[in-house]
């Protein structure tokens, strides 16, 4: 069983996976690949003793031309996120603390 399901996450990272018809959207800029990569690496980092970060899909964030968009709850809204950015996103998420 995944550790991220057993332990309360310090924060949640949302990845827009919205597909818009007739315009740019996160889904047609490979956001689902970013979501999957974030989920895999977040789970691996938590299993290795790192902070627990939940990663979830999201509806449109209103920045469709700048996707994929990723929101770290309590932290940054990131644009043009690529699979190569996954470690940087998770590093930023781990700095967020709950109130
Ligand atoms: S489709 Fe992702 S922000 Fe609108």
Amino acid 4: pLDDT: 47
Mean pLDDT over residues 2-9, rounded?
58
User: In testing the pocket of ligand 1, which one of 14, 19, 26, 28 has its CB within 8 Å of the most ligand atoms?
Assistant: 26
Report the separation in Å between the CA atom of 80 and the middle of ligand 1, taken as the mean of its atom positions.
11
Amino acid 9: pLDDT: 77
* Ligand 1 contact, 63 CB (< 6 A): yes
* Reported CATH class of domain 3-93: alpha beta
Distances in Å between the Cα of 51 and the Cα atoms of 17, 28, 32, 40, 44 are: 24, 30, 23, 14, 10
List beta partners, residue 82.
none
Q: Where are the domains of the chain?
A: 3-93
Q: pLDDT tier at 6 (50, 70, 90 boundaries)?
A: low
pTM over 0.95: no
Report the separation in Å between the CA atom of 69 and the middle of ligand 1, taken as the mean of its atom positions.
7
Residues 29-72: tens digit of each pLDDT: 999 999 999 999 999 999 999 899 999 999 999 999 999 999 99
Indicate which atom in ligand 1 lies nearest the CA of residue 64: 4
Q: pLDDT tier at 83 (50, 70, 90 boundaries)?
A: very high
């Amino acid at each position: 069983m995944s550790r991220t399901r057993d332990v309360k996450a310090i924060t949640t990272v949302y990845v827009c996976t919205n597909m818009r018809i007739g315009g740019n959207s996160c889904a047609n800029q490979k956001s689902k690949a970013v979501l999957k990569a974030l989920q895999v690496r977040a789970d691996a980092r938590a299993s290795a003793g790192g902070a627990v970060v939940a990663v979830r899909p999201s509806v449109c964030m209103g920045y469709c031309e700048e996707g994929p968009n990723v929101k770290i709850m309590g932290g940054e809204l990131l644009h043009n996120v690529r699979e190569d950015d996954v470690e940087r996103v998770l590093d930023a998420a781990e700095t967020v603390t709950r109130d």
